[in-house]
Structure 1
Amino acid sequence: MRILVGLTMSALMAVAAVQAFSPRHTQPLAATRLAIEKIQFNTVVQSKAALVAGGELGKLLYSTNQGQDWQQAKLSKDRQALILQVAFAGDGMRGLAVGHEGWILQTTDGGLSWTEVAFDEKNGEPLMSVANIEGHRWLAVGAFGRAVQSSDDGRTWSAYQLPEGVEDKHLNRIVGAADGAQWLIVGERGLVLRSHDHGQTWKQEPEFYNGSFYGALPLDKNGWVVYGMRGNIFVNHNAAEAWRAVKIPAPISIFSGASMANGEVILVGQGSMVLTSQDHGDHFSMHRLGGRATLMDIAVGQNGAGWLASDQGLMPYKAEDLKSPAK
C-alpha cells in the first residue's frame, strides 16, 4: 500500500513539474484607454496618417481609425507646455505643433511622432498659430506681436518682421486661402493683416472693430470671414469690399471653424455652440451639441461628421447634429 501511495505521489509531482515548466499562452492585456474626455484640447486636425489633437500638458494624441482609438504620440522631449495649434503642409505628412514657452515640434510622419526644434522657458512668449506658407517655408505668430519663420520645414527659426504697430498685440491666428497667395493674420484689438503674395509682405487693414479676433476662414473669390469675441463676425467677399458685420442669435465668443468646398461655413465657440452658414458667411444658424463645453477647434470628415477639440476633451459629432437648431 505504501509503495502504491508513493508511486501515485511521484506521478502527481511529475505532472506538476511538466505543467510548471511548459510554455503558456497568456491572454493579451486590454488596451489602455486614454481619457480623452478629461483633457483640455485646443486643436484637432486630419493629417494623411491620422487624426491629430493637442492640448494641455503638452499632450499630442493621434487616431488612425477616425477616433475609435487614441494613442499618445512619441515626443523627443516632454515639456508639458500647452499646445495651441497643430498644422500640416499640403502633403499631409510634414507638420508643426506650437505652444507656450515658444515650443515648436516637428513631425514628418503625419503626427505619430514629434521632434522638438525650439523651446525657451525663460523668454519664450506663447506661439498661438503656425502655417505652411509655401514649399518648405513656415510662419508662426504669437503673443506681443511675435513672429518667427523657417525656410527648412521648421528645423531652424529666425525672427520675422511684421508691419509696425503690431508689437504689443497678440497675434491669434494665421490662415491661408486655397490659392496659396492670399493670407490673413488676425489678433488683438481688431488687428487684421493681409498678404496677397504668399506671405512675403503684409498690410494692415483699416480698423473696423476694436475687439479681439480669434480666427479667420477663406471664402471663394478671395473672400474672408473673421470672427472673435462676443459673437463678432465680419465678412468680406473681395479685397475691394468693406468688411460687413454679420448678426448671430447670441453673443458667444467664437474660437475656430471650417469652410467647405460647397460654400458652407462652420464656426464653433462657447457653450457647445456651433454656427453654420449656407451662403458663404452672410447669414448663420445656431446649433447646440449638448453640454456647456468651450469648443476650441473642429476637424470635418468627408461624410460631414467629425471631431471637436474642447475644454471637456475630444468630442465626436454627426452631420445631423449641425442641422437641428439650438434650444
Structure 2
Amino acid sequence: MKTAVGIGAAALVAFASALAFAPRTPPPLAPTTIGVERTHFNAITQVGDRILTVGAMGEILYSDDKGAHWTAARLNQDRQALIVSVAFAPDRKTGFAVGHEGWILRTKDGGSTWEEMAFSKENGEPLMSVARLPSGDWITVGAFGRALESKDGGKSWQPLALPAEVEDKHMNRIASSADQQHWLIVGERGLVLKSDDAGATWHTEPAFYNGSFYNAMATKGDGWLIYGMRGNAFLQSAPGAQWLKSQVPAPISFFGHALEGDGTIVLVGQGSMLGLSMDGGKTFSLERARGRATLTDIVLAGANNGWISSDAGLQPFPPQAEAAPQADQGDKP
C-alpha cells in the first residue's frame, strides 16, 4: 500500500514538473498608454492637423486625432534634457525644438522624428525660445543673454547680433506679428527688443517695467500685449504708442496665450489660473482650471476647444473652471 502511494505521489510530482516547464502562450500585455495627465510639458502647438507638445526628460509627443491619442516622437539622441520651446516653418514639416544644455533638435517630417543639431553638456545655457524668420533663417534665445542664428537650416549656429542692453539677461520668448514683419524678444528686468524689418535688425524699447516678461502676443492694429511676472501685463495699441498697464485682478504669473474665435484673449499661468480678456487685453478676469498646476501653454485645436500644457500634464480646454478670488495687485514687480 505504501509503495502504491509513493508511486502515485512521484507520478503527481512528475506531472506537475512537466506542466510547469511546458511551453505555453503568455497572456497578452495590457495596452501601453502615455501618461499625458502627469508629465511636465512646457509648450504645445498645432502643425496642420497635428498637435505637438514638448517637455521634461526630452519628451516630444504628437496627436493626429485632436488629443484623443498621443504618440511619442523618435529622437536620435536621448539626452533627457528639458525641452522648452518648439516652432515650425510654413511647410509644416520642418521644425526646431530647443531646451536646456543648449539642446537643439530638428524635424523634417512634421514632428514624428527628430535629429540632434547641437548639445552642450558642459556650460550649456538653457535655450528658451526658437523661431523662423521670413528670410528662412532660424533664431533661438535663452539664458544669460545667449542668442544664436542659423542660416543653413540648423546645421551650424552663430551668435545673433542684439543690442548691448541684453548683457547677461535671460530672454524668455520670441514673438511675431501675423504678417511676420514685426517681432519682439522679451525677458527679465523689463527687457523688450523690437524688430520692424522682419528680424533683420533689433532695437531696445525704452524701459517701462523692471520685472520679468515671459511672453508676448500681437494684437489688432500692429499692437502688442506683453505679460509675465505677478500679473503684470502691458498693452501697446500701435507702433510707438505708450505702453499701458492692463488691469489684472490678482498677482498671477502668466506664461502662454491663445486667441479664441470671438476675440477673447486667454492667458494661462500659475495655480491653474486662466486670465480672460474680451477687450483686447485692457482688462482681465480670472478663472481656475482643473487642479493647482502651473499652466505653461495653450493651443486651440478647433472652435474654441483645445489643450493646455502644464507641469502636471495636459488637460482639455475649456476646462471645468471655477471662479477665482479677486484681489488687489499692488505695485510689486
Cα pair 1:61 1:73 within 8 Å, conserved:
yes
Structure 2: how far apart are the matches of 1:197 and 1:160?
15
Using the TM superposition, give the Cα deviation of residue 31 of structure 1 relative to its aligned residue in structure 2, in angstroms: 3.1
Aligned residues with identical type, % of pairs: 50
Structure 1: how far apart are the matches of 2:277 and 2:185?
22
Name the residue aligned to 1:298.
298
Aligned runs of 1:245-256 on 2, under 5 Å?
245-256=245-256
- Aligned: 1:219 with 2:219: yes
Cα pair 2:83 2:98 within 8 Å, conserved:
yes
Do the aligned partners of residues 203 and 275 (structure 1) sit closer, same or farther apart at CA in structure 2, a change above 3 Å counting?
Answer: same
Aligned runs of 1:1-327 on 2, under 5 Å?
30-48=30-48, 50-260=50-260, 262-318=262-318, 321=320, 325-326=323-324
Single out whichever of 296-305 and 222-231 deviates more from structure 2: 296-305
Cα pair 1:50 1:65 within 8 Å, conserved:
yes
Using the TM superposition, give the Cα deviation of residue 261 of structure 1 relative to its aligned residue in structure 2, in angstroms: 6.1
Structure 2: how far apart are the matches of 1:28 and 1:110?
33
- Report the TM-score when normalising by structure 2: 0.86
Structure 2: how far apart are the matches of 1:259 and 1:49?
18
Using the TM superposition, give the Cα deviation of residue 88 of structure 1 relative to its aligned residue in structure 2, in angstroms: 1.2
Cα pair 2:41 2:53 within 8 Å, conserved:
yes
Do the aligned partners of residues 230 and 156 (structure 1) sit closer, same or farther apart at CA in structure 2, a change above 3 Å counting?
Answer: same
Name the residue aligned to 2:5.
none
Structure 2: how far apart are the matches of 1:153 and 1:304?
34
- Report the TM-score when normalising by structure 1: 0.88
Cα pair 2:261 2:304 within 8 Å, conserved:
no
Amino acid at match of 1:182: H
Q: Deviations over 1:77-133 (max 9, x none)?
A: 010110001111222221110000100000111111111101111122100000111
Using the TM superposition, give the Cα deviation of residue 321 of structure 1 relative to its aligned residue in structure 2, in angstroms: 4.8
Using the TM superposition, give the Cα deviation of residue 174 of structure 1 relative to its aligned residue in structure 2, in angstroms: 0.4
Cα pair 2:265 2:278 within 8 Å, conserved:
yes
Amino acid at match of 1:326: A
Compute the RMSD of aligned alpha carbons: 2.0
How many pairs were matched up?
Answer: 303
Do the aligned partners of residues 218 and 260 (structure 1) sit closer, same or farther apart at CA in structure 2, a change above 3 Å counting?
Answer: farther
Structure 2: how far apart are the matches of 1:222 and 1:83?
30
Structure 2: how far apart are the matches of 1:221 and 1:321?
33
Single out whichever of 191-200 and 48-57 deviates more from structure 2: 48-57
Q: Which runs of 5+ in 1 are unaligned?
A: 1-19
SS at match of 2:114: strand
Q: Which runs of 5+ in 2 are unaligned?
A: 1-21, 326-333
Using the TM superposition, give the Cα deviation of residue 136 of structure 1 relative to its aligned residue in structure 2, in angstroms: 2.3
Structure 2: how far apart are the matches of 1:187 and 1:103?
20
Using the TM superposition, give the Cα deviation of residue 168 of structure 1 relative to its aligned residue in structure 2, in angstroms: 1.1
Single out whichever of 203-212 and 309-318 deviates more from structure 2: 309-318
Using the TM superposition, give the Cα deviation of residue 305 of structure 1 relative to its aligned residue in structure 2, in angstroms: 0.9
